[in-house]
Structure 1
Amino acid sequence: MDLRRALRDNRGFILFLLGFLVFRTAVADWNPIPSGSMRPTLLEGDVVLVNRLAYDLKLPLTDVVLMPLGEPRRGDVVTLSSPAGGTRLIKRIVGLPGDRIAMQGDVLVLNGRPLAYRDSRSQGETVAPGWVVDAVRATEDLGGRSHPVQFLPRLPARRDFAEITVPPGQYFLLGDNRDNSEDSRFIGTVPREKLIGRAHHVLVSADWLGEDGWRLAPRFGRWATAIR
């Protein structure tokens, strides 16, 4: 009797919680960025907005696709469940089904043509408190969609791989921080149903990885900014 009364008295709040759960698991979501694999596009401490209806309508809390709604595009930044363990990741789509993908000395080769890189510049990059390495940043032209990338020449990384053809219904994903990213070079191509949604804006951002260790400083200039 007490349980029934509690459910009846709190019906509005319970319905709100259920609606909120459905919204976050089926419509839109926000995700904090915990690592530097998408630098310089996304920084640790960014919180991104994710459109879960960009590609598919799914049964909440599952990868079961109820209805396709749109096609993933080359250059989209997406959240995904890793095929190698289910960890949630955020990466950029660089290869569509049927594309031929290779990498030669950190240069991405798409369908037999090396991509163009411009505005290259060097700078120091903090990869951990007190650890600064040399970094090279450039703008990559990915089939007409330009975006920043970063290379860390002195860190060990997989900078070369032979050409592969992306299988039907799958996608090849890379982090923008090319020498510090666990992406399709390691986890393989990603089935469409593993794509959670498209990240389109940074909602809020705070710097929590300062030179002197832990800190929390809002980066207001990144709030409500579109993701390239």
Structure 2
Amino acid sequence: MKRWLIKSLKENKSLLLFLVLMSVFRSAVADWYTVPTGSMKPTILEGDRIYTNKMAYDVRVPFTHISLYKVSNPVRGDIIVFDSKAAKNRLIKRVIGIPGDRVVLSHNQLTINGEQLDYQKISSNAVSSDEIENLLGLKHQVRLSKTPSSLANFREVTVPEGYYLALSDNRDHSADSRVISFVPRSEIIGSAKSVVMSLNYDNYYLPRKERFFHSLLNG
């Protein structure tokens, strides 16, 4: 058994090296994240495979959250992927408040640092409406439920230093900062800017060709 193992390692060392390098790459440089829920609709759909740039904010030690070098900080509107200790899960949300921001949510309308955001309805049905939210200059789509929700309001909060307020685009159907509180900077592992591929869970997992390499920058 030992001889067979040594022989196998020698014969497949190129493959093993490739697998190790690929694992390091996915851990520290770039990876994809499969979205299992509709919490980011209409921007991201269930079944989307999201490209995650893991060097957007930090250069990290592979397989850890240890930052070797800070590249930049998240800004309002960024879609971030983070390992949430509070939720005990990997999540994808949109940054709404950065450190120092004062944020209020009233009837699903945001006010940031005293400035109420503009909203423009683009579609509607019996249960929800899709609107364009102008996030202090960055426009993106949100989905708002027509059924009253406890998530539609919160009093003014100030985002602490080293933390971010992150909400989902599907505002009434998500456990985001309204449930898990502010997101620590140290939990953020990357930025999501495009869909790599997408499978339609409601149609026999067939590919959604129109979403392949679809940009998330404009919602």
State TM-score, norm by structure 1: 0.90
Rounded to whole Å, the distance in 2 between the matches of 1:120 and 1:110 is 23
Please state if 1:196 is matched with 2:185. no
Residue of 91, 106, 115 corresponding to 2:108 = 106
Deviation of the 1:71 alpha carbon: 2.0
Deviation of the 1:120 alpha carbon: 3.8
Moved more, 166-175 or 113-122: 113-122
Cα RMSD for the two superposed structures: 1.4
Q: What residue is the counterpart of 1:178 in the other structure?
A: 171
Rounded to whole Å, the distance in 1 between the matches of 2:35 and 2:150 is 21
8 Å contact kept, 2:121–2:129: no
Deviation of the 1:205 alpha carbon: 1.1
Deviation of the 1:156 alpha carbon: 3.4
Runs of at least 4 residues of structure 1 off by over 6 A?
none
Deviation of the 1:155 alpha carbon: 5.7
Query: What are the equivalent positions in structure 2 for 1:85-104 lying under 5 Å apart?
Result: 85-104=87-106
Compare the two structures and name the one with the higher strand fraction.
1
Q: What residue is the counterpart of 1:209 in the other structure?
A: 202
Q: What amino acid does structure 2 have at the position aligned with 1:136?
A: S
Deviation of the 1:159 alpha carbon: 0.9
Rounded to whole Å, the distance in 2 between the matches of 1:173 and 1:43 is 18
Please state if 1:223 is matched with 2:212. yes
Q: What residue is the counterpart of 1:82 in the other structure?
A: 84
Rounded to whole Å, the distance in 1 between the matches of 2:202 and 2:156 is 37
Moved more, 3-12 or 28-37: 3-12
8 Å contact kept, 2:87–2:180: no
Rounded to whole Å, the distance in 2 between the matches of 1:82 and 1:27 is 20
Rounded to whole Å, the distance in 2 between the matches of 1:157 and 1:138 is 20
8 Å contact kept, 2:32–2:52: yes
Q: What residue is the counterpart of 2:12 in the other structure?
A: 10
Q: What residue is the counterpart of 1:146 in the other structure?
A: 139
SS of the equivalent of 1:209 reads coil
Q: What amino acid does structure 2 have at the position aligned with 1:94?
A: I
8 Å contact kept, 1:44–1:209: no
SS of the equivalent of 2:130 reads strand
8 Å contact kept, 1:83–1:190: no
Moved more, 104-113 or 87-96: 104-113
8 Å contact kept, 2:40–2:169: yes
Q: Number of paired residues?
A: 215
Deviation of the 1:176 alpha carbon: 0.1
